[in-house]
A and B are shown apart, each in its own frame.
Chain A
Amino acid sequence: MNQAAPQLPVSLAANPRLSSWVRFSDEGQVTLSPGKVEIGQGIVTALAQIAADELDVDIGRVKMVRASTAGSPNEGVTSGSLSIQQSGRAIRQACAEIRRIFLAAAADRLGVDANALEIDDGMISGPGNVQTSYWELADEISLDRDATLEAAPKAAAKRALAGQSVRRLDIPDKVFARRRFIHDYALPAMLHGRVLRPERSGATLTGLNEDGAHAVAGLVTVVRDGSFAGVVSETEEGAETALRALRKGATWSAREALPDENDLAAFLKAQPVESTIIDTRISSNTSDKLRTIRRQYTRPYIAHASIGPSCAIAQWNGDRLQVWTHSQGVYLLRADLALVLKIPVENITVEHMEGAGCYGHNAADDVALDAVLLAKAAGGRPVRVQWSRADEMTHAPFGAAMAIEIEADLDAQNEIVNWRHSIWSNGHAARPGRAAQPALLAAYELENPFPRMISTNPPQANGGGGDRNSIPLYDFPAWRIESHRLLTMPVRTSALRTLGAQGNVFAIESFLDEIATERGEDPIEFRLRHLRDDRAKDVIRATARRASWKPEKKPGTGYGIGFARYKNTGAYCAVVAEVEGEQDIRVKRLTLAVDVGEAINPDGVINQIEGGAIQATSWVLKERVRFDHEHITSSSWTDYPILRFSEVPQVVVELIQRVEIEPVGAGEAAHGPVTAAIANAVFDCLGVRIRNLPITRDSLIAAMELSS
Chain B
Amino acid sequence: MPSIRFRLNGVETDVDADPDGSLLDILRGPLGLTGPHFGCGSGECGACHVIIGDRAVASCDTPLWSVANKDVTTIEGLGSAERPHPLQRAFIAEQALQCGYCVSGILMSAAALLMQNPQPTDAEVRSALDRNLCRCGSHNRMVRAVLRAAAEMAPQ
- Residues in chain A within 8 A of chain B (CB atoms): 39-42, 165, 167-168, 170-172, 174-177, 179-181, 183-184, 235-237, 305-309, 354-359, 386, 388-389, 603, 607-608, 610-615, 618, 636-638, 642-646, 648, 650-651
Separation of A206 and B26 alpha carbons in the complex (Å): 36
The 15 listed contacts between A and B (C-beta, < 8 Å) are: A171-B91, A171-B97, A172-B92, A177-B75, A177-B76, A180-B100, A184-B34, A237-B22, A307-B47, A307-B133, A357-B98, A388-B41, A607-B98, A648-B126, A648-B137
Q: A171-B95, A175-B88, A646-B130 are in contact. Are A181 and B101 (CB under 8 A)?
A: yes
Cβ-closest chain B residue relative to A388: B41
Separation of A41 and B99 alpha carbons in the complex (Å): 7
- Residues in chain B within 8 A of chain A (CB atoms): 18, 21-22, 25, 28-29, 34-35, 37-42, 44-45, 47, 74-76, 79-81, 84, 88, 91-92, 95, 97-104, 107, 123, 125-127, 129-130, 132-143
> How near does chain A come to B17, taking the closest CB pair, in angstroms?
9
> How near does chain B come to A317, taking the closest CB pair, in angstroms?
26
Collect the chain B residues with CB atoms within 8 Å of residue A651's CB: 140
Which one of B92, B103, B135 lies within 8 Å of A305 (CB-CB)? Answer: B135
Which one of B76, B97, B139 lies within 8 Å of A174 (CB-CB)? Answer: B97
Separation of A612 and B140 alpha carbons in the complex (Å): 13
> How near does chain A come to B97, taking the closest CB pair, in angstroms?
6
> How near does chain B come to A614, taking the closest CB pair, in angstroms?
3
Collect the chain B residues with CB atoms within 8 Å of residue A177's CB: 34-35, 74-76, 104
Cβ-closest chain A residue relative to B82: A176
Are the C-beta atoms of A309 and B98 separated by less than 8 Å?
A: no
Are the C-beta atoms of B134 and A307 separated by less than 8 Å?
A: yes
Collect the chain A residues with CB atoms within 8 Å of residue B91's CB: 171, 175
Which one of B37, B42, B107, B136 lies within 8 Å of A357 (CB-CB)? Answer: B136
Are the C-beta atoms of A648 and B104 separated by less than 8 Å?
A: no
Separation of A180 and B99 alpha carbons in the complex (Å): 11
Q: A355, A388, A646 — which one has the most chain B CB atoms within 10 A of its CB?
A: A646
Separation of A643 and B137 alpha carbons in the complex (Å): 9
Collect the chain A residues with CB atoms within 8 Å of residue B127's CB: 645-646
Separation of A648 and B126 alpha carbons in the complex (Å): 9
Cβ-closest chain B residue relative to A637: B44
Cβ-closest chain A residue relative to B132: A645
Cβ-closest chain B residue relative to A611: B137
Are the C-beta atoms of B40 and A636 separated by less than 8 Å?
A: yes
Are the C-beta atoms of B140 and A40 separated by less than 8 Å?
A: no
Collect the chain B residues with CB atoms within 8 Å of residue A388's CB: 41
Collect the chain A residues with CB atoms within 8 Å of residue B104's CB: 174, 177
Which one of B29, B75, B133, B135 lies within 8 Å of A236 (CB-CB)? Answer: B29
Are the C-beta atoms of B38 and A603 separated by less than 8 Å?
A: no
Collect the chain A residues with CB atoms within 8 Å of residue B81's CB: 172, 176
Which one of B40, B41, B98, B129 lies within 8 Å of A645 (CB-CB)? Answer: B129
Q: A170, A175, A359, A642 — which one has the most chain B CB atoms within 10 A of its CB?
A: A175
Are the C-beta atoms of B95 and A167 separated by less than 8 Å?
A: yes
Are the C-beta atoms of A308 and B95 separated by less than 8 Å?
A: no
Are the C-beta atoms of A650 and B100 separated by less than 8 Å?
A: no
Separation of A638 and B133 alpha carbons in the complex (Å): 12
Are the C-beta atoms of B140 and A610 separated by less than 8 Å?
A: yes
Which one of B22, B95, B100, B129 lies within 8 Å of A40 (CB-CB)? Answer: B100
Collect the chain B residues with CB atoms within 8 Å of residue A356's CB: 99, 101-102, 135
> How near does chain A come to B110, taking the closest CB pair, in angstroms?
11
Are the C-beta atoms of A308 and B35 separated by less than 8 Å?
A: no
Separation of A494 and B42 alpha carbons in the complex (Å): 28
Collect the chain B residues with CB atoms within 8 Å of residue A607's CB: 95, 98, 138, 141
Collect the chain A residues with CB atoms within 8 Å of residue B45's CB: 307, 389, 637
Collect the chain B residues with CB atoms within 8 Å of residue A176's CB: 75, 79-81, 84, 88
Q: A306, A308, A610 — which one has the most chain B CB atoms within 10 A of its CB?
A: A308
Are the C-beta atoms of B137 and A612 separated by less than 8 Å?
A: yes
Collect the chain A residues with CB atoms within 8 Å of residue B38's CB: 183, 308-309, 386
Are the C-beta atoms of B101 and A308 separated by less than 8 Å?
A: yes
Are the C-beta atoms of B92 and A306 separated by less than 8 Å?
A: no
Collect the chain A residues with CB atoms within 8 Å of residue B143's CB: 645
Cβ-closest chain B residue relative to A601: B95
Separation of A174 and B125 alpha carbons in the complex (Å): 21
Collect the chain A residues with CB atoms within 8 Å of residue B139's CB: 614, 643, 645, 648
Separation of A386 and B81 alpha carbons in the complex (Å): 29
Task: Give 14 new A-B contacts, CB below 8 A, not counting A236-B25, A307-B37.
Answer: A165-B95, A171-B100, A172-B81, A174-B103, A176-B84, A177-B75, A307-B45, A386-B38, A388-B41, A607-B141, A610-B138, A637-B133, A645-B143, A651-B140
> How near does chain A come to B122, taking the closest CB pair, in angstroms?
10
Separation of A608 and B137 alpha carbons in the complex (Å): 9
Collect the chain A residues with CB atoms within 8 Å of residue B21's CB: 237
Separation of A651 and B129 alpha carbons in the complex (Å): 18
> How near does chain B come to A648, taking the closest CB pair, in angstroms?
4
Collect the chain B residues with CB atoms within 8 Å of residue A41's CB: 98
Are the C-beta atoms of B102 and A179 separated by less than 8 Å?
A: no
> How near does chain A come to B121, taking the closest CB pair, in angstroms?
12
Collect the chain A residues with CB atoms within 8 Å of residue B18's CB: 237
> How near does chain A come to B31, taking the closest CB pair, in angstroms?
13
> How near does chain A come to B94, taking the closest CB pair, in angstroms?
10
Are the C-beta atoms of A175 and B99 separated by less than 8 Å?
A: no
Are the C-beta atoms of A357 and B99 separated by less than 8 Å?
A: yes
Which one of A175, A184, A306, A610 lies within 8 Å of B137 (CB-CB)? Answer: A610
